[in-house]
Amino acid sequence: MDSPAPITAEPAGAGLALRRIRKAFGPIVALDGIDLDVKSGEFLTILGPSGSGKTTLLKIVAGFELPEGGDVLLGGEDMTFTIPARRNVGMVFQNYALFPNMDVRGNIAFPLEVRRMPRAEIDGRVATALELVDLEGYERRFPRQLSGGQQQRVALARAIVFGPRLLLLDEPFGALDRKLREAMQLEVRRLQRRLGLTTVFITHDQEEALILSDRIAVMHRGRIEQVALPRELYERPANAFVADFVGESNLLFGRIAAMRDGRVEIAFENDLRLTARAEMPVGTRVGALIRPERLHLTGAGAQSANRLSGEVIETVYVGTSHKYRVRFRDGTEFLVRVRDTASQASVEIGASLSFDVAPEDVHVFRHDEAAA
């Protein structure tokens, strides 16, 4: 745990536990039994496409929506039906929600005035918060006189100045341009670590989730598909949705044809066979994920169990690497990402190429077709 920062009245953040949270809007089930634990001081991202229920979940944690079933526990205390004002939760809204009728100081002092703090303490805390977000000297500016990034800093300062037990971030980076977004992401992460704030961050941007999070919960259709470390999520997704949603992916579906020595052979519909490092009974329906960067151009004379060949139908140069779209005889298309090097021979559209993939780079997961 980090050393307690002067701004937090309580030592660091509290742990959050969600139990069987259910919420429906009319016939539409927005949240279908959500169980989630966020550890004290952890930065957890809820990642999901729009309509997956992540915003509803955040509103339930903040108290702006009430669940139809389940419990919200903050620091072990039942908060399910506590009014938002009593939850001590800081939130940064998507559009920042700064009070346009108050200047920067007024905005940041607001939660402190509400708590009837003495004037001197308010001044001290506002100064500390402004320093934390690097906005000293902006006290008298109004929100409309600030840039998007500055507004976001004010929103962040306002959300942490009163020492909340939990910080909620609702897609706060969406409106910023790429450079600023990356800078703000790092700044938020630095601040969060320094204050030891338990943080729940919502986004639909998987790259953002991978960069920022201690752990990521992937949401889809009101359910949590997987909760994992960023790397685990990328390399070992639990199912096809996660594999497809997080990062670029090549997905194939088939059955386990053979198993021996901790390896399985998977047979796909298109006669293709791949070997993967996994242990699953023969006959299991599985999905196989191969990340585009794990495919390598076949070297001269190399031997490989997993060789794929086809025709290049599209090439894209993306600076650090080349992306090829390759079509196999049966029409299946694969994405391949090859690092750009000086010695790299240029690949023409229409060229026939073959690629190798190591068995440990083929990730296998159970795939029940009815569930997909």
- The least CB distance from residue 174 to other proteins, in Å, is 14
Binding of residue 95 to other proteins (CB under 8 A): yes
According to CB under 8 A, which one of 91, 160, 274, 364 is a site residue for other proteins? 91
For residue 266, give the amino acid letter: I
Binding of residue 114 to other proteins (CB under 8 A): yes
Q: 10 Å Cβ neighbour count for 75?
A: 16
Q: Quick one: 164 or 222, whose CB is closer to other proteins?
A: 164
CB 290 within 8 A of CB 357: yes
Pairing state between β 307-317 and 296-297: unpaired
Tokens found for residue 25: 């809007």
Binding of residue 260 to other proteins (CB under 8 A): no
CB 339 within 8 A of CB 320: yes
Q: 10 Å Cβ neighbour count for 174?
A: 13
In Å, the largest CA–CA distance within the chain is 78
3-class state of residue 115 by DSSP: coil
DSSP readout, 44-91?
Answer: EEEE--TTSSHHHHHHHHHTSS--SEEEEEETTEE-TT--GGGT-EEE
Looking at 82-90, 146-154, 214-222, 337-345, which segment touches other proteins (CB under 8 A)?
Answer: 82-90
CB 182 within 8 A of CB 189: no
Binding of residue 103 to other proteins (CB under 8 A): yes
> Which residues, other chains included, contact 303 with Cβ-Cβ below 8 Å and sequence gap of 6+?
none
Q: Quick one: 83 or 345, whose CB is closer to other proteins?
A: 83
According to CB under 8 A, which one of 90, 230, 254, 310 is a site residue for other proteins? 90
According to CB under 8 A, which one of 13, 48, 53, 63 is a site residue for other proteins? 63
Sign of CA dihedral 201, 222, 367, 335: negative
Distance between CA 126 and CA 108 in Å, rounded?
A: 6
Task: Show contacts with other proteins in window 12-41 (CB under 8 A).
Answer: none
Task: Show contacts with other proteins in window 158-177 (CB under 8 A).
Answer: 158, 162
Q: Quick one: 145 or 344, whose CB is closer to other proteins?
A: 145
Task: Show contacts with other proteins in window 125-154 (CB under 8 A).
Answer: 142, 144
How many residues form the binding site for other proteins (CB under 8 A)?
28
Binding of residue 115 to other proteins (CB under 8 A): yes
Looking at 94-102, 120-128, 190-198, 321-329, which segment touches other proteins (CB under 8 A)?
Answer: 94-102
Q: Quick one: 163 or 254, whose CB is closer to other proteins?
A: 163
* Residues of the shown chain interacting with other proteins in the complex, contacts defined by CB under 8 A: 62-64, 83-91, 93, 95, 97, 99-103, 110-111, 114-115, 142, 144, 158, 162
